[in-house]
Structure 1
Amino acid sequence: MFSRDRRNSFLAAAAVAALLLAGCAQEPPAEPGAGAAGPASSSSSSVPSPWATPSAGTTSAPASAPTPRTTSGPTGEPTSGPRPMTGSEPLSVDIPALGLGSELLHLGLWGDGTLDVPPGDPGSPASWYDQSPTPGEQGPAILLGHVNATDGGPGVFAGLRDLVPGDTVEVARADGSTAVFAVDRAEQYSKDTFDTRAVYGNTEGPELRLITCDGYNVFTGEFDDNYVVFATLVG
C-alpha cells in the first residue's frame, strides 16, 4: 500500500516541483483549436503545475495530476471495488478505445527538485511518475504524456479527449499482472489555479490519472491548462 510517509514525500516533492518548473512548451498542437476551451473546474490554490518541457519551445508536457474523485481526505482500505494490488512497477499502458499502446518510462525528480520529463520526439512513449503509487496500488498512480511532438504532430496522449466513461486503460506490471482501470471522467484545469494537495491526495481505492497539456494559447504560444483523465481500478 502507498504508505503515509511515502504519500507525504510525494506531496512534498510535487509541491517543490510546482514551485520550480514552468508550464508546457510553445509548439502548437496538431489541432490547436481542440484544446482551446477554458478549464472545466478550478481550485483554491495558486500553486502552478509541476511538469515542464524537455526543452523550451519544443513540445508540450503534462503538468499536473487531477483532483481525486473524493475529497473526504485520506482513508484506509477501499470500501468497494477490487482490493489494492501489491506494488509492482508498470511496464506499458494500453488504451483499446484509442488504439494506443505505449511502453512506460519511469521518471522522477532530479537532485535539485526539478522533474525529469518525457522526451518530446515523435513516437516518444508515455511515462509513470515514480513518486506516485504503482498502478493498482492504493492511491492515485500518475501517467503523463505529451499532447504534441517536437515536429508539431500528435503526442502519445493526443487522443485523451476522445475517452468516455467506461473506456478501459490497461497497465502491464513487472510482476506479470495487469491493472485494468475504467475511465470515470475527465477535467481541464488551469495551471494558474492548481491545488497540489487536492490533486495528489489519497483516494478511497486504487486510481489512475492520465495527464497531458491543453488550452493552447495562440497569443503566448503556450499551453495554459492540463487535461486529466480519472480512472478507477476494476480488475
Structure 2
Amino acid sequence: MERWPDPVTGEVGGPRGVPRRAAGLALVTLFALVGIFGVGLVVAAFTRPAPRPPQPVAEAAPTRYAPAPEAGGPSASAVPVAPVGLDRSDPTRVRIPRIGVDADIMSLGVNADGSMEVPSLKQADRAGWYRFGPSPGEIGSSVVVGHVDSKELGPAVFFKLGALRPGDTIQVSRKDGKVVTFTVDGVKAFPKASFPTDLVYATTPNATLRLVTCGGAFDKKKGTYLDNVVVFASVR
C-alpha cells in the first residue's frame, strides 16, 4: 500500500496538500483556502468563458454523505456482515448520461512539492482519479476531479456537474473490464475556504464516489471560482 503524501502549504495556484492514509483510513487534510483547485484547474486566464456552469440547487444537497444501512437490515444483535467491494483496478472512463459526459480518466498522483497533480488545461476534456485513494468499486471514497472550463476549450469535462440530481447515475469503467454504476446521493457547492475534506475523503462502509470541480461566482481578479462543487454518489 502506498503512503499518502504529507500535506504542504501552497499558493493560490494550487492545492495546499493531499490526503495521507493511516491504517487504511482515508481521513485527510487536503484543502487550502482556495480548495482543491487553484487557477490551474479552473481557467487558463483571468477571464471566465461564457456561459456560466450550472450550480447545485437546494433540493440536490445530500441528506447523507455515506450510505446508510439498508432498511430492514440485520439487528444490532446479529453478526455484522463485512462490506463487499471489488478488487483494486484503475478506472479508465466515466459516463454520466444526464449531463452528456463520456470521458477518459487519467491517473493522478502528487507533484514534487507534495501537492496534488491535476489534469493539464490541454486535457480539460479528461477527468483525473487520485490514485492514492480507493479505486472506483473498492470500499471507501474514490475521488475523481475535473476542470469546469478553460480558455482554450471553453466548457470542460465537468462543466455541467452542478446540474446532477439525486438518483442520477454515474458509470465508471475499469481496466479489469468491470463497469461500476454509482447513484448520486446529492450535489452541493462549498466555499473553498471551508471545503468538507472529512466528508469527501472519509472512510465509508461501501464503495462511494466523489466528483469534484469548481463552481460558484468567478473572481476575475484572482482568476478562480470561489466554490467547489462536489457530487456524492454510492453503489446501491
For 2:122, what is the secondary structure of its paired residue? coil
> Judging changes above 3 Å, is the alpha-carbon distance between structure 1 residues 95 and 198 closer, same or farther for their aligned structure 2 residues?
closer
Q: Identify the residue that residue 231 of structure 1 maps to in structure 2.
A: 233
1:27 CA displacement: 4.0
The whole-number CA distance in structure 2 between the counterparts of 1:99 and 1:138 is 27
> Contact (CA 8 Å) 1:2, 1:138: kept in 2 or not?
no
2:87 aligns with: 86
- Partner in structure 2 of residue 30 of structure 1: 50
User: Which residue in 1 is equivalent to 2:65?
Assistant: 69
- Structure 1 position 170, deviation (Å): 0.7
| Pairing of 1:1-235 with structure 2 (within 5 A) | 5=22, 7-8=24-25, 11-12=27-28, 14-15=29-30, 18=32, 23-24=38-39, 25=42, 26-32=46-52, 34-35=54-55, 69-70=65-66, 77-78=82-83, 83-121=84-122, 124-151=125-152, 153-218=154-219, 220=221, 221-234=223-236
Which structure shows the higher helix fraction? Answer: 1
1:30–1:36: structure 2 CA closer, same or farther, 3 Å change rule? farther
In 2: Cα distance, 1:118 partner to 1:68 partner: 29
Q: Which moved more, 1:127-136 or 1:209-218?
A: 209-218
The structure 1 segments of at least 4 consecutive aligned residues displaced by more than 6 Å after TM superposition are 1-4, 19-22
Runs (5+) with no aligned partner, structure 1: 42-65
Aligned 8 A contact 1:68 1:200 in 2 = no
Alpha-carbon distance, 1:218 to partner: 4.2
Structure of greater Rg: 2
Closer, same or farther: CA 27–106 of 1 in aligned 2, 3 Å: farther
Q: Which runs of 5+ in 2 are unaligned?
A: 4-20, 69-79
Q: Secondary structure at the match of 1:164?
A: coil
TM norm structure 2: 0.71
Aligned residues: 200
Report if the CA contact (8 A) 1:30-1:152 is conserved: no
AA aligned opposite 1:32: R
TM-score by length of 1: 0.71
Bigger RCO of structures 1 and 2 (CA < 8 A, at least 6 apart) = 1
User: Structure 1 pair 121/174, CA: closer, same or farther in 2 (3 Å)?
Assistant: same
Contact 2:49 2:151 in 1 (8 A): no
Partner Cα separation in structure 2 for residue 90 and residue 145 of structure 1: 14
